[in-house]
Amino acid sequence: MILQDFYDGKAFDAYDFFGAHMENGRIVFRTYAPNAKKINVIGDFNGWQGEMMIQEDRSGVFTFVSDKAKFGSLYKYQITYSDGNVVDHCDPYGFGMELRPANASVVTDLSGFQWHDSSWLEKRTRNFNSPMSIYEVHLGSWHTNPNNENGWYTYSEIADRLISYVKERGFTHIEFMPLSEHPADESWGYQNTGFYSPTSRYGKAKELMELVDRCHMNGIGVIMDFVPVHFAIDGYGLNYYDGSYLYSLPNNDVGNSEWGTLNFNHSRREVACFLQSCANYWLKEYHFDGIRMDAISRAIYWRGDPNRGINENAVSFMSKMNAGLHALHPTAMLIAEDSTSFIKVTASTEYGGLGFDYKWDLGWMNDTLEYFKVPPAYRPDHYYQLIFSMEYFFSEHFILSFSHDEVVHGKAAIAQKMWGDYDKKFPQLRALYMYMFAHPGKKLNFMGNEIAQFREWDEKREQDWDILKYPVHDSFCRYFTDLNKIYTGYPALHRDEFNDNNFRWLESYAREKSVYIFETGMGNKKIISAFNFSDNDYPEYSFDASGNRKITELISSDYDYYSGSTHRGEERISIIYSQKENYSRITVHLPPFTGIMYLSEE
């Protein structure tokens, strides 16, 4: 790293300089603390007795070279503030940490791992014209380990089971909730103390590298959840690191977040380097295929509130960071979790955008789930709630997400949100998921969605895998898998999906019947998706499509082997072609609460 680049906010490799590194056979410790009066390194290699770090020419950079420290050594920085207070801190740039509640940093060797994914990385793209069905995972509660007192598998131990499951279900990517070190299990990793440290709950750095490597060797992409907006308030972390507001905003009105954390001061160039170097670190050192950035709305607007105005410094930081990351990793994806209507989130920075590749479509998620909570008799009043998503869809590159946030804190699991009693929920749930997979946009589902789990997620418990012994859950899991495979197997469902020529409404005025029909794709092979979200049966429902069509039913959410009532092979389709008008009159059967996909060939 060039130190001046750090001061100027341009460095993306600050972790190569700061932290604990082996240099010429000795461990060199460096930390940036410009307002500290004095700093000692304490660790198990010196009996936790302080050895003084040296600051050169008021640079703010303190250095200590140890002949005794080695890889695996524990250490902290004992920082004396200007007011005389002495506080022990973990290393902001530390590559490893102890298991909570202990909080020392660990001298960690990142070198020497033998990667096997060069072929994957050479072929990797940002998936604009490829299918992307993401399985969001909280690693500690996907499956629990009966032989571990905390219930955790290591990164290495869980790899085979997770990879096999994801491949079997037809997902293309895994997105891990934050794997950086955090003190509270209940924060799920979103309140960090060790931004550069893979959480020791599941093992060590090279075990995480092994997990990513094995995913790549099996054709699975891996996305890392990253938190660039706020950090944990714990006193041994970034909070008041050198006795000043080095990392956080000094104004409590905007410095304190709604989660009880502290907001980063993105206007400080050293903070910008800390964060953008961290994003680069996960992409470069661990070969992640993408970074999903949490709580971006809280960076765009002060405290996420448009009425407070745009946080220009944070917006500028994100734009510059994303441009730099794309230059370093042209095929890695940058994904924003953003609930605002701020424009150009996924536009290139060259054209005044924030430079993200994708944005979660939280508007689609909210509108869709609210619709399915409504009793069928009242759904005509909400008909245009589902039409609305296509009014703005082509303004950004969207991911349709049913994430962990939608299945916790009293919100109910996705299956439980459906209107009606237990038996009525399942046909609606199947129709909902076909709507999701047919609708343009990449897909993301939290673990448990694919088995129609009814219990809200709890980070202390594994998923309710035993429900698969019940036929209705087992058949739903089969159905979800088949949807994934159709989505990935038919280009009309994902290729050119961000081109507005790719989508056409065929029925968007059937308010009283709660029927929606649309067509996706370009060229000779398209997909027609028809939905009846009412509790009425429509034996002969007719609609028009341009050209002379051959229609083949691909999948119905009402097939009996998905616990529906329609036998495969009993499709009712009639087509009358008008050569003069050059359109086809298509008539199909739409049972209650059903979605059907058709292959349409001209």
pTM: 0.96
Q: Specify the pLDDT at position 251.
A: 81
Query: What are the tens digits of pLDDT across the range 22-46?
Result: 999 999 999 999 999 999 999 999 9
Length of the chain: 602
Q: Specify the pLDDT at position 257.
A: 86
Query: What are the tens digits of pLDDT across the range 252-271?
Result: 777 888 889 999 999 999 99
In the residue annotation, 464 being an active-site residue is answered as no
CA-based end-to-end distance of the chain: 58
- As a whole number of angstroms, the distance between CA 595 and CA 50 comes to 68
| Burial classification of residue 579, based on how many CB atoms lie within 10 Å of its CB (0-12 exposed, 13-18 middle, 19 or more buried) | exposed
Model confidence at 149, pLDDT cuts 50, 70, 90, reads very high
Mean pLDDT to the nearest integer, 209-235: 97
The single residue of 337, 406, 496, 497 carrying the catalytic annotation is: 337
Q: Specify the pLDDT at position 521.
A: 95
Mean pLDDT to the nearest integer, 206-211: 98
Mean pLDDT to the nearest integer, 225-239: 96
Q: What is the mean pLDDT of the chain?
A: 96
Query: What are the tens digits of pLDDT across the range 494-512?
Result: 999 999 999 999 999 999 9
The residue that leads in pLDDT, 579 or 531, is 531
Mean pLDDT to the nearest integer, 364-384: 97
Q: Specify the pLDDT at position 317.
A: 97
Q: Specify the pLDDT at position 324.
A: 98
State the greatest distance between any 2 C-alpha atoms of the chain, in Å, as a whole number.
92
Q: Specify the pLDDT at position 323.
A: 98
Q: Specify the pLDDT at position 570.
A: 79
Of 461, 357, 360, the residue nearest 403 (C-alpha): 360
Q: Specify the pLDDT at position 523.
A: 87
Answer for the pair 454, 448: CB distance below 8 angstroms, yes or no.
no
Is residue 340 scored above 80 in pLDDT? yes
Model confidence at 303, pLDDT cuts 50, 70, 90, reads confident
DSSP 306-347: GGG-B-HHHHHHHHHHHHHHHHH-TT-EEEE---S--TTTTS
Query: What are the tens digits of pLDDT across the range 529-545?
Result: 999 999 999 999 999 99
In the residue annotation, 391 being an active-site residue is answered as no
- Percentage of the chain beyond pLDDT 90 is 94
Residue ranges of domains in the chain, CATH in brackets: 3-106 (2.60.40.10), 502-601 (2.60.40.1180)
Of 255, 210, 202, the residue nearest 229 (C-alpha): 255
Query: From the CB of residue 165, how many other CB atoms can be counted at a distance below 10 Å?
Result: 17
The single residue of 175, 270, 294, 519 carrying the catalytic annotation is: 294
Mean pLDDT to the nearest integer, 597-601: 96
Is residue 602 scored above 90 in pLDDT? no
Of 272, 200, 186, the residue nearest 229 (C-alpha): 272
Q: Read off the tokens for 257.
A: 């977040």
Query: What are the tens digits of pLDDT across the range 376-418?
Result: 999 999 999 999 999 999 999 999 999 999 999 899 999 999 9
- Percentage of the chain beyond pLDDT 70 is 100
Model confidence at 572, pLDDT cuts 50, 70, 90, reads confident
Model confidence at 336, pLDDT cuts 50, 70, 90, reads very high
Q: Specify the pLDDT at position 140.
A: 96
Model confidence at 571, pLDDT cuts 50, 70, 90, reads confident
Is residue 247 scored above 80 in pLDDT? yes
Query: What are the tens digits of pLDDT across the range 441-487?
Result: 999 999 999 999 999 999 999 999 999 999 999 999 999 999 999 99
Q: Which amino acid is at 508?
A: S
Q: Specify the pLDDT at position 428.
A: 98
Q: Specify the pLDDT at position 258.
A: 86
Of 594, 571, 573, the residue nearest 584 (C-alpha): 573
Mean pLDDT to the nearest integer, 115-127: 97
